[in-house]
Structure 1
Amino acid sequence: MAALNEKKTCSQRMENFNRFVWNPDTGQLMGRTLINWVWISLYYVAFYIVMTGLFSLAIYSLMRTISPYTPDYQDRLKSPGVTLRPDVYGEGGLEIYYNVSDKNSWEKYVTTLHKFLSAYNTTAQHANINCTSEKYFFQKSFLGPNKTKHSCKFTSDMLENCSGLANSTFGFPEGKPCLIIKMNRIINFLPGNGTAPRVSCTAQHEDFSPLELQYYPINGTFNLHYFPYYGKKAQPTYSNPLVAVKFLNITRNTEVTVVCRVIGAGITADNPHDPYEGKVEFKMRIQD
């Protein structure tokens, strides 16, 4: 019994380990003969070759069946989101707060608008074409440069008094600021059911006097020839159409909540789970 409980010395353990790694009496390496190791290695090589082949075949089949231009499923994008520029967020969401006599308070908004509209100057839009139709711009073929589809130009001068060209401060120091509304892209989406969707901005609370506004382009519409959008690969130079809103009668030193909705068939603005679907809401306060 004492022999069974006798502890092996360190040298004995090392000797046993060395014998396990290589046993000269049986010719075994780590408990297996050389031919066994060869068969095991060949098995795993063949196994991983088959697995790699099956994985490659699955990826190849997937890539052959999906379109590089449009996603197979778009069930979460039935109605476009709407965004505002300048997009300055505060504790309560989007906020446009400034003092007409304090340049530092509104200069950041002007800088943001100029930076945003730089993608809409004539140089940036040189690859796009002039479109004059008031209808959807359907394209079945890839007739654009490098086998792409054409995109219609949208240049900042289309925003007229809110383009930043004639008035580089966008009306902020006068207390009549210009804000820009953009509708997000959805592939193959046809808004308006043949009628151009338009932007409509109102004060959220009825106790405020009606807002006096000017929209650019005229009537605040998104021309139909910018739709449908065919995706980034098909239309790499596509630019979202814009609508600018100039606020003319904001009551000074009073916070007003403004809701700008895009009105048109197929566009919803009452989704409680997505406050930016079909509309954008922001707070504005102009001080003097």
Structure 2
Amino acid sequence: MEGKKVEQFYSPPPKLGKWEGFRVFLWNSETGQFLGRTGASWAKILLFYVIFYAVLSGFFGAMLAVFYQTLDPNAPKWQLDNSLIGSNPGLGFRPMPPESNVESTLIWYKASDEGNYLHWTRELDKFLEGKKDTHERSAVNCDYGRPAPAGKVCDVDMTSWGQCTKLNKYGFSRSAPCIFLKLNKIFGWEPKFYNNTKDLPALMPADLKEHIRQEEKANRLDTVWVSCAGENPADVENMGAIQYIPRRGFPGYYFPFKNTQGYLSPLVAVFFEKPKYGVLINIECKAWAHNIIHDRFERRGSVHFELMVD
């Protein structure tokens, strides 16, 4: 019996209660472990992740720096036909309906209730705010044959727009509202003007053709022309007479858009002199140039909105 080895058996650790087991997991005084690891183990894993994320961040930063070298901060990488928006500008209108009804194109208000049309006038105030204080943005007065010099932009002077000014509440208080049109900006896009009145398209409204012939005498053909009309015969009758302020189109000296600091988009205010009350009027406006294609369904070169004055 003296030379016989004594067999030793493994004995499992004592069973601990839930709270006792959790306390040992937080700090085991026998092994010196915190949350299941010793101090040296925690130091090693912390060092590993610090090095890992430092290398990862450095690699990401280097790739981002290389990527930015391929970009021009003042011009898009893909332009005109190579871009997603293409080379056919759309036409927009202001004021827009409330954000709660963003898909709507209806301008509906009661002229006798200031609180009712206040939304529309405030929207125009916000939209036109960028046209003010033009001297601080190096804006200059341009004209046909006198575009803005390099580094300057053409001014949009709205002080003499008659009914279509903030002082006159853009005509909304008199049931004769002004709706502003703008041509969407496309970097580098240059309109191909109708410089020959014999080339005017057959679908162009007759009154616009006559207007262009009159402008030809003043040598103002370098213009993206605008026309607005009711979509249906009833809409034409209910819309009544309209005026285009300050002119019936966007002058060519505002193009091309080159993202010059302080650039001001040209505007055309459509003044509805006396639309029929209490009737929904469907209106379509179009921009006219050789390289503007009209597509009502894709909203290219034109814009649709409804007007209802109570």
Q: What is the TM-score normalised by the length of structure 1?
A: 0.70
> Alpha carbons of 1:255 and 1:45: their partners in 2 closer, same or farther (altered >3 Å)?
closer
Superposition pairs of residues 214-229 of structure 1, within 5 angstroms: 214-218=243-247, 220-229=248-257
Which of 236, 241, 265 is residue 212 of structure 1 equivalent to?
Answer: 241
Matches of 1:41 and 1:103, distance apart in 2: 66
Confirm or deny: 8 A CA contact 1:269 1:278 kept in the other structure. Answer: yes
Q: How much has 1:243 moved relative to structure 2?
A: 0.3
Among the aligned pairs, what percent are the same residue?
A: 25
Superposition pairs of residues 148-163 of structure 1, within 5 angstroms: 149-157=151-159, 159-163=161-165
Structure 2 counterpart of 1:198, one-letter code? W
Q: How much has 1:256 moved relative to structure 2?
A: 0.8
SS of corresponding position for 1:54: helix
Q: How much has 1:184 moved relative to structure 2?
A: 2.5
1:101-123 CA-partner distances (Å, limit 9, x unpaired) = 334433443343344334334x3
Superposition pairs of residues 95-174 of structure 1, within 5 angstroms: 95-121=106-132, 123-127=133-137, 128-134=139-145, 139=150, 149-157=151-159, 159-164=161-166, 168-174=168-174
Matches of 1:209 and 1:241, distance apart in 2: 26
Question: Which residue of structure 2 lines up, in the alignment, with residue 199 of structure 1?
Answer: 226
> Alpha carbons of 1:160 and 1:223: their partners in 2 closer, same or farther (altered >3 Å)?
farther
Matches of 1:286 and 1:49, distance apart in 2: 63
Q: How much has 1:246 moved relative to structure 2?
A: 0.9
Q: How much has 1:215 moved relative to structure 2?
A: 0.4
Structure 2 counterpart of 1:159, one-letter code? W
Aligned residues: 259
Matches of 1:84 and 1:119, distance apart in 2: 16
SS of corresponding position for 1:157: coil
Structure 2 counterpart of 1:157, one-letter code? T
Which of 66, 69, 73 is residue 74 of structure 2 equivalent to?
Answer: 69
1:63-112 CA-partner distances (Å, limit 9, x unpaired) = 22211111212422223343322222458712222334334433443343
Question: Which residue of structure 1 lines up, in the alignment, with residue 210 of structure 2?
Answer: none
**What RMSD over aligned residues (CA atoms) do the two structures have, in Å?**
3.9
Matches of 1:107 and 1:39, distance apart in 2: 66
Confirm or deny: 8 A CA contact 1:199 1:221 kept in the other structure. Answer: yes
Q: How much has 1:202 moved relative to structure 2?
A: 1.3
Question: Which residue of structure 2 lines up, in the alignment, with residue 25 of structure 1?
Answer: none
1:141-174 CA-partner distances (Å, limit 9, x unpaired) = xxxxxxxx21111121353442345xx1333344
Q: How much has 1:224 moved relative to structure 2?
A: 1.4
Q: What is the TM-score normalised by the length of structure 2?
A: 0.66
1:191-216 CA-partner distances (Å, limit 9, x unpaired) = 34584212211112234335521101
SS of corresponding position for 2:285: strand
Q: Which runs of 5+ in 2 are unaligned?
A: 1-8, 195-221
Question: Which residue of structure 2 lines up, in the alignment, with residue 256 of structure 1?
Answer: 281
1:45-64 CA-partner distances (Å, limit 9, x unpaired) = 76655544433332222222
Q: How much has 1:182 moved relative to structure 2?
A: 1.8
Matches of 2:110 and 2:50, distance apart in 1: 73
Q: How much has 1:270 moved relative to structure 2?
A: 1.3
Question: Which residue of structure 2 lines up, in the alignment, with residue 54 of structure 1?
Answer: 59
Q: Which runs of 5+ in 1 are unaligned?
A: 23-29, 140-148
Confirm or deny: 8 A CA contact 1:158 1:216 kept in the other structure. Answer: no
Confirm or deny: 8 A CA contact 2:180 2:268 kept in the other structure. Answer: yes
Superposition pairs of residues 81-96 of structure 1, within 5 angstroms: 81-89=90-98, 90=101, 93-96=104-107
